[in-house]
Structure 1
């Protein structure tokens, strides 16, 4: 049973089968978010996904970065990522048209950031998620 179905911009339907969410800045005790810290957080989340799903390709949806009107600190301007970091396992019908969809499926692990705790909702999912190039990124596997 899937958690959600997302209609990609390409017309393909994908199923979200597992979702891991965490606070982007959970454990951030002092200082402020800035570019280097955020780059490390994004890289770390991608590595977590690769470790958690070693047999599936991992795709990072580049996060939106906001620059609030605050005075820069010692490390440069304040840069804020969306508040929720997500790792999702998706599947769909095979990419290769010659494969039997009963015996094969395509899979992809996706890393993204979002502002709320909602499961990505079908056709209303974020455009960055809906724009995933499934044909190029996913891998076919035998069921």
Structure 2
């Protein structure tokens, strides 16, 4: 039984079965967020997602990147900020392939996204980027 359900923009309902929330910049003790740091954080989240659930594809919802215009630039370049909460969720839904029996098959996808609050996504109120995932392309069917 899923923790919650999210309704994608396509109308497909996906069930969230596992959720991991973390601070986007947890452990950053000094300096400022910048593109290289953010790209590394995203890469690490995708690698972790693939390692935890190796039989399920991992998909990134491209995060919004803010560039405050305060004139600060450190040795790694200008400030670039991602939303404060990094999310990794395992979602399941009905099969993608119409040839697969919906009683015996499901589709799954691990999704990495960023959001402003630590609230679990739900229904039509989920993060817009998450709701716009084109499920049929990256998701993979499996047999129960």
Query: Which of the five TM-score ranges fits, normalised by the shorter chain?
Result: over 0.9
Runs of 4+ in 1 over 3 A off after TM superposition: none
TM-score (norm 2): 0.96
Residue 23 (structure 2) aligns with: 23
Structure 1 gaps, min length 5 = none
Q: Greater helix share, 1 or 2? A: 1
Deviation per CA, 1:3-62: give whole Å up to 9, x if none: 111111111110000000111100001100011111111111111101111000110001
Cα shift readout 1:51-81 (whole Å, capped 9, x = no counterpart): 1110001100011111123222222211100
CA–CA distance in structure 1, aligned partners of residues 119 and 70 of structure 2: 29
1:138 equivalent in structure 2: 139
Matches of 1:87 and 1:113 in 2, distance apart?
Answer: 9
What secondary structure is seen at the aligned counterpart in 2 of 1:135?
coil
Give the unaligned 5+ runs of structure 2.
none
1:32-71 superposed matches below 5 A = 32-71=32-71
TM-score of the superposed pair, with normalisation by structure 1? 0.96
For the aligned residues, what is the CA RMSD?
0.9
Give distance in 1, aligned partners of 2:122 and 2:46: 22
Q: How does 1:1-143 map to 2 (within 5 A)?
A: 1-74=1-74, 75-143=76-144
